[in-house]
Structure 1
Amino acid sequence: MKKLFIAMPVLLIGSLAGCAAINHSDKSSADTRPQTLYEARLVNPASGTGLNVTALAQRLEHTDVVVIGELHGHQASHLLQSKLQAALYRQKPRQVLSMEQFNLDNQAAVDAYLSGKTGETEMIEDSGAWDNYRASYRPLMEFARQHGLPVIAANAPASVVRCVGRTGPDYLNRLPASDRAQLPANPFLDTAAYRKKFDVVIADSHSAANETMRERMNNTYQAQLLRDNTMANRILAARAAHPGAQIVHTTGTFHSEEHLGTVALLKQRAPDISVAVISPVVWPVNTNAAPLHSSRHKGDYLYFIQPLPDAFRNAEREQEAMSARFRRPAKNTCQGDSP
C-alpha cells in the first residue's frame, strides 16, 4: 500500500510496533486464540477477560473519542474496525468517522463522494486513497455514507510530511500562508515517552551512528509529530463542528498505543476530553499462551490477532525493495531542498 511518506524508518515502525513486548506467561483457554487472519479476540487488559464487540461498544457509549489502532493491511484489524463502528453507532448514532488514511488536503474529494457528486473510483483517484482502500477501508466509508455521517480526512498533507522528513521542520516556514493555516498551531508538540519509544524502535532497526543519519532520524521524527499533531487537531475540530458526537478514529497502532502519539497530543490540547484506545496485539501461531501480561499497557482494550506472513526472508531483496520504495523522485519537489 502507499502513503507512508516520511522515510524508511517509519515503515519499520509500523512493522515492529505490533510485535513488541509480547510475554508468553499468561495462560488462556483455547477459544481465546484467534484461529484465522480475520479474527480479532477482544480482551479487557485490566481483568484479562474476553468481551464481544457489543459489550465493548456499551462500555464506550459515553467516551468522546474512540481510537481503533490497526496493523495496516491486517484483515482482522479492518474487520474489527468495521464491526465496532457499527456497534458504536447503535449505542450513539451521533458519530463522526476520522481517518488517518486520508489527508486533510483531500477533504473535498471525500465530501464529494459522501454527497453523491462522485463515484467510488473518482473518489479514490481524487483523494489519493491508499492502495488497499477497497479491501480495508471501503466498509468504514460506506457505513458513514449510508448513514449520513461525516468523515474527516485527518492526516497531514503527504507532500508536506515528506518534505519535513527530508529537510526538517523549518520547511513549514516556506509554505504559502493558506497551506500553513491548515496545519495546527504547535505542529511539533511532543512528549518525552513518544520520543523514547521512537528512538528504541529506530535503534533496533536502523543505525544512527553518524551525524548525517542522526539528522535524518530527527527529521523523520519531526514528520511523525506533524502527522500526530495534525490528527489530534482535526479530531478536536470535528468535535467543535459536531457537538455531542462521538469521534471514531482509525489509525496505525504506533500513533495510539500506550496512549502516546496522537492520543497524548490530543490530551495535551484538550485535557478534559475522554479517549479510549483499542490496540492490536500479535499472538504468534506457534504458542497457546496469550501475550497479555506485558502488553496490558498498550491500550484500554486489546485485541489479539495472528501475525501477518513475512514479507521477505531474503535480507538483500528486502533492502532492495525498501530502497526502491523510498528513492527520491527525479524532480525536486521541496522548496530549498538539494537534489
Structure 2
Amino acid sequence: MPLPKPLIAGALTLLAGCASQPQPEPAAPAESHIPPMHSILNTPLLYSDGQPIAVEQLARRWKQADVVVIGEFHGHNGAHLLEARMQMALFNERPDQILSLEPFNADHQDALDRYLAGDLGEAEMIEDADAWDNYRAGYRPLVTFAANLERPVVAANAPATAVRCVGRRGPDALQRLDDATRALLPDDPFRGDAAYRRRFFEALGGHGHADDNALENRYQAQLLRDNTMASRILDALEANPGAQVLHITGDFHSADRLGTVALLQARAPELAIRVLSPIRVDDPARPAFEEGDLTRGDAVYLLAPLPAEYLDPERMRAAIGERFSRAGEIECP
C-alpha cells in the first residue's frame, strides 16, 4: 500500500534538514584503537570537483539532469546505502523520477510491473522476475521507495538468454532467438567504441585479437547489455516526458562515462547525463586518491573495502565454478 503523501513529504524534509552539510567525524581519543566509523559502517563520502559534498547538495546541482547514473560495486552495502540516499534526495528535487535497474532484465518487466501494482508478493516477484540473489539486501529499498510513490521502475538489462548465447556463440546467436526476445533488443545492439573495447580486454587479460573468439564473444555480450540499457532509458524518457531517470548499474558500465553512458549520449546527444562513480579507498575519512580517481564520474563516492570473501583458494574456485554451472543452464537455440 502506498505511503500517505504527507508522511513521505515530511520524511524527505526531515532527511534533507538532517544532512544538508557534510559533518566532520569526531576524532577518537589518542589511546583508542577503534577504526574510523566510515570504515566500520561503509558510510559513503561524496566528492565533487575534488571537494566533499553532501548528498542533498549534489541532488540540487543535478536537479536539471535528464539522467543520473550511479555506478556500483555489486553487493557492496555502502554503495546500496548511497543509492537509497541519492534516490530520496533526487526525488525531493524532481518528483517525476523513474528508477532504472541493471539487475532486472527487460523480458521480466511484466513481473516487475505486476509487483508494483500490488498483484504479486515480493517472493513471487523475485521468482517470476529472476531477481538477483541480493535483491532484498541491495535493491529492495529502491524498488519499495518507487512503489510507495507510484513511480515507474524499468527492467533495463538485456534478456539473459540473449546475453549468454551471444557470449557463447557470438552476435549471430541473436538471429536464432525467438521473435519476442529479439523485439526487446535495440537497433544496432553491438555499437561500441575503441576506448571501451580496450578497457574490457585489459580487464579480462586479453588483447583484442581477432582470433580470440571467446573474449570477443564476451565483449559483444557486454555491448548487448550496454546498448539495451541505453535504449531502455531512452524509451522511459520518451514515455514520460520531463521525467528524470535514475539508473543503477555496475561501475564498469559507467566509469569515465564509457559503456552505457557513452552509448546513451551517442544515441541522444542532447541529454544532460550525470555520473556518480565509486572509488575504493582504505579509509574514506582520510582518502589517498590515485591519479584519475576524482574524474571517474561527474562526482565520486568513497567506499572502504569489504571483508575478504574467501581465504581458501580452493573454496573460491569451487564457488566460481558453481556460478558458471548455474549460468550454463540456459540453452541456446
The aligned runs of 1:301-320 (5 Å cut-off) are 301-320=299-318
**CA displacement at 1:218 relative to structure 2:** 0.6
1:179 aligns with 2:181: yes
Note the alpha carbon deviations across 1:99-128, whole angstroms, 9 max, x for none. Answer: 001000000001001111111111111111
Q: Do the aligned residues in 2 keep the contact of 1:164 with 1:220 (CA within 8 Å)?
A: yes
Please give the alpha-carbon distance, in whole angstroms, between the structure 1 residues aligned to 2:273 and 2:282. 29
Give the whole-Å Cα distance in 1 for the aligned partners of 2:329 and 2:257: 39
Segment of structure 1 superposing worse, 163-172 or 286-295: 286-295
Alignment of 1:49-60 (within 5 A): 49-60=51-62
Q: Which residue of 1 is the match for residue 156 of structure 2?
A: 154
**1:76 aligned residue:** 78
Establish whether residue 259 from structure 1 lines up as the match of residue 257 from structure 2: yes
Summarize the Cα distance change of 1:33–1:50 in structure 2 as closer, same or farther, 3 Å threshold: farther
Structure 2 equivalent of residue 18 of structure 1? none
Tell whether the 8 Å contact from 2:47 to 2:294 is kept in structure 1 after alignment: no
Aligned to 1:123: 125
- TM-score (norm. length: structure 2): 0.85
1:1-339 paired onto structure 2 within 5 Å? 34-44=38-48, 46=49, 48-203=50-205, 211=211, 214-285=212-283, 288-291=286-289, 293-327=291-325, 333-335=331-333
Summarize the Cα distance change of 1:198–1:128 in structure 2 as closer, same or farther, 3 Å threshold: same
| Contact 1:33-1:304 at 8 Å conserved across structures | no
Structure 2 CA distance for aligned equivalents of residues 156 and 298 of structure 1: 25
Q: CA deviation at 1:210?
A: 11
Query: What amino acid is aligned across from residue 100 of structure 1 in structure 2?
Result: E
* Structure 1 residue 33, shift from structure 2 partner: 8.7
Q: In structure 2, do the counterparts of structure 1 residues 230 and 330 end up closer, same or farther at CA, with 3 Å as the change threshold?
A: closer
SS at match of 1:149: coil
* Superimposed CA distance per residue, residues 223-262 of structure 1 (whole angstroms, 9 cap, x where no aligned partner): 0100000000000000000000000000011000100000
Q: Determine the C-alpha separation between the residues in 2 that align with 1:304 and 1:332.
A: 37
Measure how far apart 1:297 and its partner are.
Answer: 2.3
Which residue identity is paired with 2:320?
M
Query: Separation in 1 of the partners of 2:287 and 2:96?
Result: 39
- 1:26 is matched with which residue? none
CA distance in 2, matches of 1:186, 1:169: 11
Distance of 1:150 and 1:210 partners within structure 2: 42
- Using the alignment, how far apart are the partners of 1:168 and 1:253 within structure 2? 24
| TM-score (norm: length of structure 1) | 0.83
1:284 Cα deviation after fit: 1.6
- Alpha-carbon distance between aligned partners in 2 of 1:54 and 1:161, rounded to the nearest angstrom: 37
Root mean square deviation of aligned Cα = 2.3
1:38–1:76 CA contact under 8 A, matched in 2: yes
User: Aligned pair count?
Assistant: 301
Contact 1:163–1:171, Cα closer than 8 Å, also in 2: yes
Q: Percent identity?
A: 48
How far does residue 174 in structure 1 lie from its aligned partner after superposition?
1.0
SS in 2 for 1:322: helix
Whether the 8 Å CA contact 2:201–2:208 is kept in 1: the answer is no
Gaps spanning 5+ residues in structure 1: where? 1-28
Return closer, same or farther for 1:41/1:193 CA change in 2, 3 Å cut-off. same
Amino acid at match of 1:142: T
Residue 202 of structure 1: CA displacement? 1.1
Contact 2:210–2:216, Cα closer than 8 Å, also in 1 = no
8 Å Cα contact 1:239/1:245 also seen in 2: yes
Larger relative contact order (Cα-Cα within 8 Å, sequence gap ≥ 6): 1
Residues 149-197 of structure 1 show CA distances to partners (whole Å, capped at 9, x for unaligned) of 0000000011111111011110001122332121000000001100011
Alpha carbons 2:102, 2:155 under 8 Å: kept: yes
